[in-house]
Amino acid sequence: MAEVLLFHHAHGLTSGVLDFAENLRLAGHTVHTPDLYDGQVFDDLDDGVAYAQRVGFSTIIERGRAAGDGLPRELVYAGFSVGVLPAQMLAQTRPGAKGALLFHSCVPTSEFGGAWPEGVPVQIHGMDADAYFVDEGDIDAARALVETTPDTGLFLYPGGEHLFADNSLPAYDGPAATLLTERVLRFLGDVSQEPSTA
């Protein structure tokens, strides 16, 4: 089965992120959920974003890099929103990646050195009217990645919620989250069968 390094979103390591990880574990996968916020959890998304800004996104990314130290190379890197930054960075720059799961965000591959690594599949999930995902350019980065990279899927869900897969937040959308989880489990099942080519 797959081994996943899953990074939380701007609210912090919420119970909803932990529940999502547990659902993957119940399917037989190993999931690591590092805390990039030193134990802080924010009820308000803007407060969580402000914390990340104060700490510095480069620091958040570096904490994510450090979370990978000591873990096997053949990981699937996954992240929710701001957690996509360390997930995407590691998938692009750490040799041996088995895949990447980018939830609610995507940044241009140029942010982490250029082209997506050959042989590393990726899924990107977001809502089609999510202002963070659509209006801030993430969907454009996602479409560019799909156009230039084999084994890439962009999945859009109807609605405007940002963190719709976290069952501890008001943004939670049960049907969309269920479908996302089904797609993720198929992805993890597929990459578990493939030798790493990165």
DSSP states of 55-115 as a string? H-HHHHHHHHHHHHTTS-SS-EEEEEGGGHHHHHHHHHHSTT--EEEEES----GGGGTSS
Would residue 116 be called left, alpha or beta, if left means φ above 0 and alpha means ψ between -120 and 50 degrees? Answer: beta
Domain ranges in the chain are 3-192
- Going by the DSSP 8-state scheme, the letter that residue 182 receives in this structure is H
CA distance 29 to 113: 30
Per-residue pLDDT tens, the chain, 198 aa: give them.
999 999 999 999 999 999 999 999 999 999 999 999 999 999 999 999 999 999 999 999 999 999 999 999 999 999 999 999 999 999 999 999 999 999 999 999 999 988 899 999 999 999 999 999 999 999 999 999 999 998 999 999 999 999 999 999 999 999 999 999 999 999 999 998 866 544
Distance CA 38, CA 198 (A): 31
Q: 191: part of which helix (H) or strand (E)?
A: helix 174-193
- Output the CA torsion sign for 58, 6, 79, 102: positive
Query: How far from 62 is each of 57, 119, 146, 173, CA to CA, in Å?
Result: 9, 25, 26, 31
Q: For residue 53, what are its two tokens?
A: 């800004």
State the average pLDDT for the chain: 95
CA-based nearest residue to 112, from 139, 135, 140, 145: 145
Tens-digit pLDDT profile for residues 14-46: 999 999 999 999 999 999 999 999 999 999 999
Cα–Cα dist 77/26, whole Å = 18
Of 103, 114, 176, the residue nearest 145 (C-alpha) = 114
Using an 8 Å Cβ cutoff, are 16 and 171 in contact?
no
Query: 3-192 in CATH: which number?
Result: 3.40.50.1820
- pLDDT of 109 reads 95
